[in-house]
Amino acid sequence: MDDYQIPPPDLRGRAHPDRMFRMLGALITAFESLTNCAHLRRPPTQRVDRDLNLVVDEIRVEGQDVRSFRLVAAGGEKLPSWQPGCHLDVLLPTGRRRQYSLCGDPRDRGSYRIAVRRIAAGAGGSRELHDCVGTGSTLTARGPRNAFPYVRAGGYLFIAGGIGITPILPMVKQAAADGAPWQLVYTGRSRASMPFLDELSELDPARVRLRSYDECGFPPSGSEILQYAPDRATVYCCGPAPIIANVRRDLPDSAAQALHFERFTAPPIVDGQPFEIALTRSNRVLTVPPDRSALEAIRQQIPDIAYSCRQGFCGTCRTRVISGEVDHRDRVLTDRERTDTMTTCVSRSRGDQIVLDL
Ligand code: FES
């Protein structure tokens, strides 16, 4: 998950590391205080270390390869509250940990709903949920927590790609309930593969634009989507990387003023430098190529290493650093944690080698 910020990160993906970027940052801060738009910045992801024991109460087919899971507390108690954009960290029976956006009704304190597309060639989390979890199964989860917060704004353009509708759906319903101007552009491989069309049809159809790739091609251009943005709209986008890239590129020429987006996959590594990782416990030295993450290199040697979001916000891949200087690119560790810990999915070494407690 990520969001659009001005100025953008430098070519190594770091926020404002040099003098020019610091000066630009100061100018932006002054501008924000004058225009009162600092609230559009995303707050850091809050860690929620609370285990929830949940039971799968209902499973529904929501589209081709998509199932929704209704989860209730095993003890029947009320569930913690959540807001649109929140997700659960779900611990699967094999020990895999995965994040799933909550896509039900935040007013319903008796149940959560998540929806999952089965990815046959994926890392196994979605297959496990589809194939091994049934009604009555128990799951442990943590959260809800919010790495994609819905901010009250004067107007919205929501953009969803396929299963990316899951965090967007509660936002759309919230905007509709608030009476805010909103538009939704919903894309997907085919209409049959796009979940929750029935629920969207109950909203204002004039505000919903369905754009399947088999009818309209892929990916849609950013300007094609952004033409629907209400004036000075805040844009929320969750979908495939090419759509996010196109929207980011064309946003400055649109009527929209801010963009928040959530990725499905690891962010691209920009101008990464190669480095070595020394694993002390397994007494191995690995090379991390410029276009690969440390986590990918480690998984070659330790296939069952724990990871989840691969985007630096969940903290599952945190690893103790014994020596070396880390280029921290996560959004989850505190400054104190960063003195001896790194998230291997996104962070890199500033030097030639880093030594990890693995
Ligand atoms: S896997 Fe989530 S922070 Fe690394």
CA 309 to ligand 1: nearest atom: 2
pLDDT in tens, 9-31: 333 333 334 444 445 444 443 44
Q: Find the 343 Cα to ligand 1 centroid distance in Å.
A: 6
- Kindly list the protein residues whose Cβ atom lies closer than 6 A to any atom of ligand 1: 307-310, 312-317, 330, 332, 343, 345
Domain boundary among 146, 164, 192: 146
Distance, in Å, from the CA atom of 153 to the CA atom of 39, rounded to the nearest integer, reads 10
Per-residue pLDDT of 60-100, as tens digits, reads 999 999 999 999 999 999 999 999 999 999 999 888 889 99
Cross-sheet strand order for the sheet of 341-343: 284-288, 275-279, 353-356, 318-323, 341-343
CA separation for the pair 243, 163 (Å, rounded): 14
- Tokens linked to 332: 């989850």
Q: What are phi and psi of 144, to 5 degrees?
A: -70, 150
- What is the Cα–Cα distance from 85 to 81, expressed in whole angstroms? 12
Counting residues of the chain whose pLDDT is more than 70, the rounded percentage is 86
For residue 120, the enclosing domain spans: 51-146
Task: For ligand 1, pick from 91, 264, 298, 314 the residue to mutate: most ligand atoms within 8 Å of CB.
Answer: 314
CATH code for position 191: 3.40.50.80
Domain final position from 146, 170, 202: 146
91-100, 135-144, 160-169, range with the lowest pLDDT: 91-100
Same domain, 238 and 160: yes
The structure tokens listed for 56 are: 């799968």
Dihedral (CA of 266, 114, 179, 43) sign? negative
Looking from the CA of residue 330, the nearest atom of ligand 1 is: 3
Note the pLDDT tens digit of each residue in 297-306. Answer: 999 899 888 8
CATH number at residue 92: 2.40.30.10
Same domain, 74 and 98: yes
Using the atom order of ligand 1, give the atom closest to the CA of residue 315: 3
Task: Tell me whether residue 28 is in a domain.
Answer: no
CATH code for position 300: 3.10.20.30
Based on the fold, state whether residues 290 and 340 are members of the same structural domain.
Answer: yes
Is the same domain home to 85 and 178?
A: no
Q: Which one of 262, 285, 314 terminates a domain?
A: 262
Count of domains forming the chain? 3
Q: Is the residue at 6 inside a domain?
A: no
For residue 78, give every residue at least 6 positions away whose Cβ sits within 8 Å of its Cβ, in sequence order, or none: 109, 110
Distance of CA 298 from the midpoint of ligand 1 (Å): 13
> How far is CA 356 from each of CA 272, 282, 312, 343, rounded to the nearest angstrom?
19, 10, 17, 11
Pairing of strands 326-327, 348-349: antiparallel
Q: Are the beta carbons of 159 and 243 closer than 8 angstroms? A: yes
